[in-house]
């Protein structure tokens, strides 16, 4: 099974992200999406981890199924919130023993009120601690990634502080993947800031095409991503026409991808929301073929 940092060293990567479904219908939808996207031969795919470990077993099951039953290389998300160090070490050991070589180490969000462990922050304060533990458990067998925010994490004291923390995380990891954003220059500025701090680890841009205006607006608010006025105005003008919102969203995402590749991005990571059409359309628009992936 390839390690992601080796894939990045070999050339541009194209990857997809999925989340563990909570219902039988959601599971059916995910399986359909996997079948539709596998022919694109992604460099790797990732599976998210619910707040406080709420999808721990489902995440593990999907990751191991992808490893054993498909041609796709999986990466398991893992968050430290609401977990002890012993629990995290056990999860990482389980992945290592299953042959999973790629881990995305995240601090994560606390579960919502009413969920199990809602008041438990866990033993680790920073994602860099989890990345270091992954390195301890997996050694050179693991490829470890971390998250990045082009505009800075919403809880960061300042953008300067955010960049320092990101550089420290990357010092413990092999690569980063950003949250979604809308303008290529945001990624370029972040990479330049990291270079000024002596950090040259690859940072893969995260792409989420706008297919639902209300949903993307909510996601942007939660992640701290700036929603540029020109884009918001264009989408708001057709808010009553979902098909036109989607068409414009795919068009904008395609241009963003092209701009990022022109700027030297090491790859593109698509947030699929467990559906394939928008990602497949962007692939077509970019002229990507299985030979490119």
Looking only at the bridges linking them, the beta strands covering 267-271 and 143-148 are unpaired
Q: Which residues, in sequence order, are CB contacts of 282 under 8 Å at separation 6+?
A: 207, 209, 250, 253, 254, 257, 270
Verify whether residue 17 is a known catalytic residue. yes
Q: Which two tokens stand for residue 112?
A: 């919502």
Closest to 47 measured CA to CA, from 97, 36, 35, 34: 34
Q: Which of 172, 92, 165, 170 is nearest to 129 (CA)?
A: 172
Q: Compute the distance between CA of residue 251 and CA of residue 195 in angstroms, rounded to an integer.
A: 31
| Nearest C-alpha neighbor of 186 from the set 286, 260, 250, 258 | 260
Which two tokens mark 48? 């998210």
CB 52 within 8 A of CB 118: yes
Q: Answer yes or no: are the C-beta atoms of 89 and 133 closer than 8 Å.
A: yes
Answer for the pair 104, 145: CB distance below 8 angstroms, yes or no: yes
Closest CA to 286 of 253, 264, 248: 253
Phi, psi dihedrals of residue 268, rounded to the nearest 5°: -135, 135
Q: Are 70 and 40 in contact (CB under 8 A)?
A: no
Of 17, 129, 151, 183, catalytic: 17
Catalytic residue set: 17
């Amino acid at each position: 099974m390839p390690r992601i940092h080796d894939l990045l060293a070999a050339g541009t990567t194209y990857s997809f992200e999925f989340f563990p479904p909570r219902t039988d219908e959601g599971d059916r939808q995910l399986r359909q999406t996997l079948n539709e996207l596998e022919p694109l031969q992604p460099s790797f795919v990732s599976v998210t981890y619910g707040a406080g470990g709420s999808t721990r077993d489902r995440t593990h099951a999907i990751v191991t199924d992808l490893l054993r039953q498909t041609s796709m290389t999986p990466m398991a998300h893992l968050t430290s919130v609401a977990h002890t160090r012993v629990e995290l070490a056990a999860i990482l050991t389980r992945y290592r023993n299953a042959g999973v070589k790629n881990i995305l180490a995240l601090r994560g969000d606390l579960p919502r009120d009413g969920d199990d462990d809602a008041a438990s922050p866990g033993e680790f304060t920073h994602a860099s601690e989890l990345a270091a533990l992954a390195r301890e458990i997996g050694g050179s067998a693991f490829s470890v990634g971390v998250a990045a925010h082009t505009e800075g994490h919403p809880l960061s004291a300042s953008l300067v502080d955010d960049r320092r923390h990101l550089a420290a995380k990357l010092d413990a990891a092999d690569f980063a993947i950003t949250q979604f954003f809308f303008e290529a220059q945001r990624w370029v500025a972040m990479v330049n800031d990291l270079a000024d701090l002596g950090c040259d680890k690859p940072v893969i841009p995260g792409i989420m095409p706008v297919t639902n205006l209300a949903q993307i607006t909510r996601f942007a608010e939660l992640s701290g991503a700036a929603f540029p006025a020109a884009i918001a105005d264009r989408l708001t003008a057709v808010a009553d026409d979902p098909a036109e919102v989607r068409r414009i969203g795919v068009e904008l995402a395609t241009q963003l991808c092209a701009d990022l590749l022109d700027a030297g991005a090491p790859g593109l990571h698509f947030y699929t929301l467990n559906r394939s059409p928008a990602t497949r359309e962007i692939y077509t628009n970019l002229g990507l073929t299985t030979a490119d992936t």
